[in-house]
A and B are shown apart, each in its own frame.
Chain A
Amino acid sequence: MIIYDHRRGEVIDASTGLVVEQHAIDPGPEWRSYRPGARRCHVMYRGEPGALKFFKSLIPRHVYEDAKYIMEKLGLGGRAGALAAIMYSCKRFGVPFNQELLRLGGVDRGRIYRVYRRLLEELGPPPRIDDAVLFQMVSVAVRLGRPWLASMAATIYRRLREKYQGYRPATLAAVALMKSGLPAKEASRLLGVPPSTLSKALKNIGG
């Protein structure tokens, strides 16, 4: 598990303690103040973003660390900022985003996506858009005790992704799983795609 220690400008492997990279960008100030009151200064002493702490136990450690780094780098705050940063980090690491977090956060989706758009503009699109959903397909297939479904569904998914780029990855993954032999109800439940969305997608894609 890789952790960014942005204060020291290091990238560390959490399990072994090995410092992978030492010269990562250190966003902290180049000076230190020894005045007693200066510890309260925002730049000098920054704690964990409170809103992100709420989700700490619900997300993987590396996603948490990355989201924290993003929030501090862009000066994001609030639960909407935390959820947008988690969403972006999940995509960056190819980890499926748990939709339950949106419910727990109790923030309007529109607000989260407004912050998320800012992240996309500032940091660029996440490079591993499809990895999370491919991982999800494998985990679904393994959980059902039919691991061979995963490779078949992944092949179908890649073909569909090229042809139908307007669809959300989860919808295409559900269609791919269905085409590999999973019942529609199961596919929609396991991937969190509403049945109506799935049936519309199936109509357009055919089959």
Chain B
Amino acid sequence: MEPKIEIVNIVATLKLDPMPKPDKILERIPRAKLIRRFHGAMIRLDKIPILFYRDNIIITGLKSMNELDQVIKNAISLLQGRGFNVKIISRQVVNITVKVELGIELNLYEVARKLNGIYDPDYRPYVIARLNGTTLLVSQMGKLVLLGAKSLEQVYNILGKALALIT
């Protein structure tokens, strides 16, 4: 059976010049909400939250890279429409979370040995393996979650290696 791979979430950061201050965002965009805990502002574009902090902007809840491009484009045009004359300095994908379904049952003792991961059912019911700066969680029912990847190539590289070892 072919493994089903699904991107669950992409988190990206964005730096603009000049950085719009959260107070100004709250003033000029009425639908923006205040995030009290971090002194930031949040707006939603097509249900995707964009968080404005003092030194960077965080975009979460994305399902694809195309969606990220689209959201950034929309956010910039929204800001420019509200009198912020901003340019993009840098954009960076911080975290990609991927879910994989293998459709087979796995022996977690063997998986832990092969991936050099940790498995203690008293602590967590899955194997936790660290692979090239990412974390892979493997459950007995053949479901995998990869956390902390920075690019899609990295995701496919790591999953390729891990699946070759597991299956």
Q: Which residues of A contact B (CB under 8 A)?
A: 91, 113, 116-117, 120-121, 124-126, 129, 164-170
Contacts and interface: CB of A to CB of B under 8 A. Distances in A.
Contact of A113 (B108, B123, B141): B123
B123 A116 contact: yes
Nearest to B111: A165
B120 A165 contact: no
Nearest to A162: B107
Interface string B93-127: 00000000000000111001000001111110110
A113 B140 CA distance: 22
Interface of B: 107-109, 112, 118-123, 125-126, 128, 130, 139-141
Contact of A169 (B108, B109, B122): B122
B125 A129 contact: no
Contacts of A169: 121-122
A166 B120 contact: no
B166 to A, nearest CB: 14
Contacts of B130: 121
Majority-rule SS of B interface residues: loop
A54 to B, nearest CB: 22
Nearest to B125: A166
A121 B140 CA distance: 20
A48 B104 CA distance: 49
A165 B109 CA distance: 9
Contacts of A129: 120-122
B107 A120 contact: no
B122 A117 contact: no
A165 B118 contact: no
Contacts of B139: 166
B120 A120 contact: yes
A100 B7 CA distance: 42
B121 A168 contact: yes
A158 to B, nearest CB: 13
Contact of A165 (B121, B122, B123, B128): B121
B122 A125 contact: no
Contacts of A126: 120
9 contacts: A116-B123, A117-B123, A121-B118, A129-B121, A129-B122, A165-B108, A165-B125, A166-B108, A170-B122
Nearest to B117: A125
Nearest to B121: A168
A166 B121 CA distance: 6
A131 B119 CA distance: 16
Contact of A91 (B109, B119, B120): B120
A116 B126 CA distance: 15
Nearest to A87: B122
A196 to B, nearest CB: 17
Contacts of A117: 118, 123, 128
B118 A125 contact: yes
Given A166-B121, A170-B122, 17 more contacts: A113-B123, A116-B123, A117-B123, A117-B128, A124-B118, A125-B118, A125-B120, A164-B140, A165-B121, A165-B125, A165-B140, A166-B126, A166-B139, A167-B121, A168-B121, A168-B122, A168-B125
Given A125-B112, A165-B107, A165-B140, A120 B118 contact: yes
